Amino acid sequence: MELNGYNNTDLAIDSSEVNGQGGGDLSVSSATSGGGKGTCCLGLSPGTKFPVELTVQWTRDRKGWCEQTVQLAAHVTADPRHIGVHFFPDGRIEAEVTEGYPDLKLKLDRVDVGKSKPAGNQIQDEQSAKCRDGDAA
């Protein structure tokens, strides 16, 4: 299934992975875009028992990586084709299986990437994840 990343935080994600599969870079989402592009592919075997545990890794500076385990709930579509991974400002990461492109969960005003948002670019995903210096594992 195609991986689709959605970055609802205030800062770009330089690189992301799901179960070791590259999810690409994720700009800050806007009102019309999730911030990333589709990348190939994360496979789930027929007959997989849900929920499935996914390991999501990401970096903002390519010097340190963070990791969080998320649950992928059972899909409710007859033709699963996409896995949406949503990074939220409060540190949550959610994953979903969809037939078409996953919907935006938040519609954020896009700002100049060189300027801070009024929120002060407080990123809570790094506080709710395991983070370390060095390359992704």
Output the DSSP codes for 4-40: EEEE-SSS-EEEEEETTEEEEEEPPP-SS--BS--B-
Q: Using 50, 70 and 90 to split pLDDT, how confident is the model at 19?
A: very high
pLDDT tens-digit profile of 21-41? 888 888 888 777 777 788 888
pLDDT tens-digit profile of 59-93? 987 778 999 999 998 777 788 889 999 998 888 89
Average pLDDT, integer, range 14-19: 92
Cα–Cα distance for residue pair 31/76, rounded to 1 Å: 26
Q: State residue 48's pLDDT score.
A: 80
Q: State residue 56's pLDDT score.
A: 95
Q: State residue 127's pLDDT score.
A: 67
Q: State residue 115's pLDDT score.
A: 53
Enumerate the domain spans of the chain.
2-133
As a whole number, the mean pLDDT across the chain is: 81
Residue ranges with strand state E in the chain: 2-7, 13-18, 21-26, 52-59, 64-72, 82-87, 93-98, 130-133
Percentage above 90 pLDDT, the chain: 26
Cα–Cα distance for residue pair 63/119, rounded to 1 Å: 24
Of residues 18 and 34, more confidently modeled: 18
Cα–Cα distance for residue pair 111/114, rounded to 1 Å: 8
